[in-house]
Amino acid sequence: MAEPRTIARALTIAGSDSGGGAGIQADLKTFTVLGAYGMSALTAITAQNTLGVHGIYNLPLEAIEQQIDAVATDLGIDAVKTGMLSQVPIIETVARKIKQHNIPNLVVDPVMVAKGGAKLLENDSQQAMIEWLLPLATVVTPNLPEAEVLTNREVKTIQDMKEAARRIHNFGAKYVVVKGGHLEGGDALDILFDGQTFEQFVSPRHETKHTHGTGCTFSAAITAELAKGTPIREAVAIAKEFITCAIRDTLGLGTGHGPTNHWA
Ligand code: PLP
């Protein structure tokens, strides 16, 4: 007889960051610290450090499919997050697999461009993300530049963030978190929209260049909490606290944009 399961299971479908600050490495550290069992399906390998992305190697679609199938058919999945998906065929494959395996709790981090400017999603792939992935999403977590690409309009103010959340919600995601880290000055403000009401999450802004992987870490924290059965508002609040501490207590690694501190 099978032993009773004692831990929530979270899968990240994302790219590898050799520097360990973003991508699947950030996701697995976050899952672990928040008490979820982490699993990974790699979409791409990046050669990367705190100075930038030096190489991108997308994996064959078959390899991505097999990883998701292997995990879903044996270990099981309570929540999944998607990160770097690189290209339209990868987006389509991942969306198809998530549907096929009926995975609950999908967190979509619509990763597009790394802070150093490297493209992690090819041009014109946003339409595939809107069409294939967002209708399956429990939560989608765009930052301001990503919200601008998804809605094809400027997002510079809190009012713009609310309007973007409304538009992105219309693509089919159940909840939208628009992250205001790129707003000029002031506190770091994020907005959660459930289709009817807006809720604001505010934390003090910490001025530091070590913010590599913040988006990955934030969405991974939401994923870990959803896997554990935490309700969405509480999951976002915990993720906000987690990323705020991770930015505040910097590790000071590397000579460029260093990683955040997942143990803060
Ligand atoms: N590299 C990989 C593999 C990622 O998945 C991400 C996620 O957004 C990044 C880099 C971006 O990192 P940054 O926070 O520096 O924009």
Alpha-carbon distance of 250 to 168, in angstroms, equals 32
Least confident of 63-67, 112-116, 173-177, 187-191: 112-116
Q: Which atom of ligand 1 is the closest one to the Cα of 44?
A: 3
Residues 185-205, mean pLDDT to the nearest whole number: 94
pLDDT, position 20: 97
pLDDT, position 1: 66
> Which of these, 257, 222, 226, 228, lies nearest to 240 by C-alpha position?
222
User: Backbone phi, then psi, for 228, in 5-degree steps?
Assistant: -80, -5
pLDDT, position 58: 97
The CA 171 to ligand 1 mean position distance, Å, reads 24
| Residue 184, token pair as written in the block | 């000029």
Assess whether the C-beta atom of 212 lies below 6 angstroms from ligand 1: yes
pLDDT, position 45: 98
Q: Cα–Cα–Cα angle for 215, 69, 220, nearest 5°? A: 15
The mean predicted confidence, pLDDT, of the chain is 95
Assess whether the C-beta atom of 14 lies below 6 angstroms from ligand 1: yes
Neighbouring C-beta atoms of residue 213, cutoff 10 Å = 30
User: Backbone phi, then psi, for 92, in 5-degree steps?
Assistant: -65, -45
Residues 198-206, mean pLDDT to the nearest whole number: 94
| Residue 135, token pair as written in the block | 């209708």
The CA 213 to ligand 1 mean position distance, Å, reads 5
Assess whether the C-beta atom of 214 lies below 6 angstroms from ligand 1: yes
Alpha-carbon distance of 191 to 202, in angstroms, equals 9
Which residues are known to be catalytic?
179, 211, 213-216
Assess whether the C-beta atom of 215 lies below 6 angstroms from ligand 1: yes
The CA 45 to ligand 1 mean position distance, Å, reads 11
pLDDT, position 207: 87
Pocket mutation for ligand 1, best pick of 13, 211, 216 (most atoms within 8 Å of C-beta): 216
**pLDDT score of 129 more than 80:** yes
| Residue 30, token pair as written in the block | 């976050």
Alpha-carbon distance of 110 to 112, in angstroms, equals 6
Q: Which atom of ligand 1 is the closest one to the Cα of 213?
A: 14
* pLDDT tens-digit series, residues 49-89: 999 999 999 999 999 999 999 999 999 999 999 999 999 99
Question: What CATH number is given for 8-248 in this structure?
Answer: 3.40.1190.20
Alpha-carbon distance of 201 to 173, in angstroms, equals 19
- Give nearest CA residue, ligand 1 atom 8: 111
Least confident of 47-61, 133-147, 153-167, 177-191: 177-191
Assess whether the C-beta atom of 42 lies below 6 angstroms from ligand 1: no
User: Backbone phi, then psi, for 132, in 5-degree steps?
Assistant: -95, -40
pLDDT, position 114: 87
> Which of these, 177, 173, 167, 172, lies nearest to 198 by C-alpha position?
177
Residues 155-177, mean pLDDT to the nearest whole number: 97
Q: How confident is the model at residue 2 (pLDDT cuts 50, 70, 90)?
A: confident
| Residue 193, token pair as written in the block | 């929209």
Assess whether the C-beta atom of 111 lies below 6 angstroms from ligand 1: yes
Neighbouring C-beta atoms of residue 140, cutoff 10 Å = 30
Domain segments of the chain: what residues?
8-248
pLDDT, position 185: 77
pLDDT, position 227: 98
Q: How confident is the model at residue 116 (pLDDT cuts 50, 70, 90)?
A: confident
Using CA of residue 235, residue 147, residue 110, residue 254, what is the dihedral sign?
A: negative
